[in-house]
Amino acid sequence: MSLAYCNVAGLHLPMLCLVDYLGFRVVAMTKVPLKPGPPAYGSNDGGATVFATVPELNNLMKAAATQLNLREHLAG
């Protein structure tokens, strides 16, 4: 939700909805059609390999990270 509230122009996220009902909480998210192969940004193997191959997308993510006070770091 924090990423959505950054309002970075050109950064698109899947629709999601948080539902609280009778003490249960469910997050419903649209199914995103993904192409075969590596993702443009992120990881598809639990973080063993991280991709950031589209410069325009990298710039959008850096703009969002600046608003969220995040920086690049090693994980794992």
Q: What is the mean pLDDT of each run of 10 residues along the chain (76 residues)?
A: 89 90 94 86 86 93 94 78
Separation between Cα atoms, residue 18 and residue 35, nearest integer Å? 27
Assigned domain for 37 exists: yes
Assess if residue 51 is contained within a domain.
yes
Overall number of domains in the chain:
1
Report pTM.
0.73
pLDDT at position 76, please? 65
Taking the mean position of all CA atoms in its chain, how far away is CA 36? 18
Domain assignment present for 35: yes
Helix, strand, or coil here: 59? helix
Residues of the domain holding 27: 2-67
